[in-house]
Amino acid sequence: MAPSKTTSSHLALLADTTLTSLYERERLLRLGSHPSPSDDAEIRHSLDTLKLGLGQLEKELEDLEHAGATSQELKSREDVVIKLQSQVFSPHPRPPFCVCVFETYG
């Protein structure tokens, strides 16, 4: 079972891209403009993908635990999941709207 490297790398890149889109969305709103419906749909889709991907990584970690993986392998995978979760859910140094938008779209 070794999908996490590619999956986690893809999700980290998606999280960065989505965060950039969220910053741009917030900037537009502050300027009195409105993001396009297609931009919002893309953000929603990305957030859904992130949510599903994190769930998949957590499930893989759980499966590894049940399969009796070594503590070193578990720690390595757990570190990947925690890093990605903090990238997606952490309000610092990101503005709190990221978490709010995630919850709204999620």
Side-chain half-sphere exposure of 105, counting CA atoms within 13 A: 22
pLDDT in tens, 16-30: 999 899 999 999 999
- CA neighbor of 13 nearest in space, from 94, 81, 88: 88
Question: What does pLDDT average to over the chain?
Answer: 81
Q: Give 106's pLDDT tier (boundaries 50, 70, 90).
A: very low
Tell me, rounded to whole angstroms, the distance of Cα 12 from its chain centroid.
7
Tell me, rounded to whole angstroms, the distance of Cα 20 from its chain centroid.
13
| Vertex 23: Cα angle to 81 and 54 (nearest 5) | 20
Per-residue pLDDT at 59: 92
